[in-house]
Structure 1
């Protein structure tokens, strides 16, 4: 009986540990604010698909697929999510990506 209880507790503990380890490894989605940057100077953004998507080239470390980008055009603020991204080799923090408006 004791071995059965130990086996059940071990399985529950193991399952809980695996769940927590997976959650800790899960990617944290970030928001990158480019509203204080100057379009055409600090970054380039080109709209496509009737302004629902766009190509962006900018500098900034840590931008990954799923992250959010905040841009400003005049008084309007726009929010996009990164669908695809590639980093340049030099400079290593320069990237180009496809963004979807959210």
Structure 2
């Protein structure tokens, strides 16, 4: 009897761990977000500092949900540019303000 009970506990334990393992896999399947800052004003809504002839840059902005691998669309004059978020750090106050290292990528 105890052998059967142990087997059931192992099955339950295995199934509960299997659910934890499959959760990150489903997270990986989610698409990264595209954040469109092209209609916002540089200098008041966000700040972008170009590095390496615009191939990289640091951006400070406001808004929750920006994370690595997301894309950000910026506009300079009539030209649009798309950058991928390489790293992002959120400020403690205000909590929705962030600074990110961006890498220029082709527009999708």
Q: Same fold (TM over 0.5)?
A: yes
TM-score where L is the length of structure 2:
0.73
Helix, strand or coil at the partner of 1:24: helix
- Is 2:38 the counterpart of 1:25? no
Unaligned residue ranges in structure 2 (runs of 5+): 1-14
Helix, strand or coil at the partner of 1:50: helix
Higher-helix-fraction structure? 2
TM-score where L is the length of structure 1:
0.77
Q: How far apart, in 2, do the equivalents of 1:93 and 1:78 lie?
A: 23
Unaligned residue ranges in structure 1 (runs of 5+): 1-13
Counterpart of 1:89 (choices 92, 101, 105) is 92
- 1:23: Cα distance to partner? 3.2
Alignment RMSD (CA, Å): 2.0
- Is 2:68 the counterpart of 1:42? no
- 1:31: Cα distance to partner? 0.4
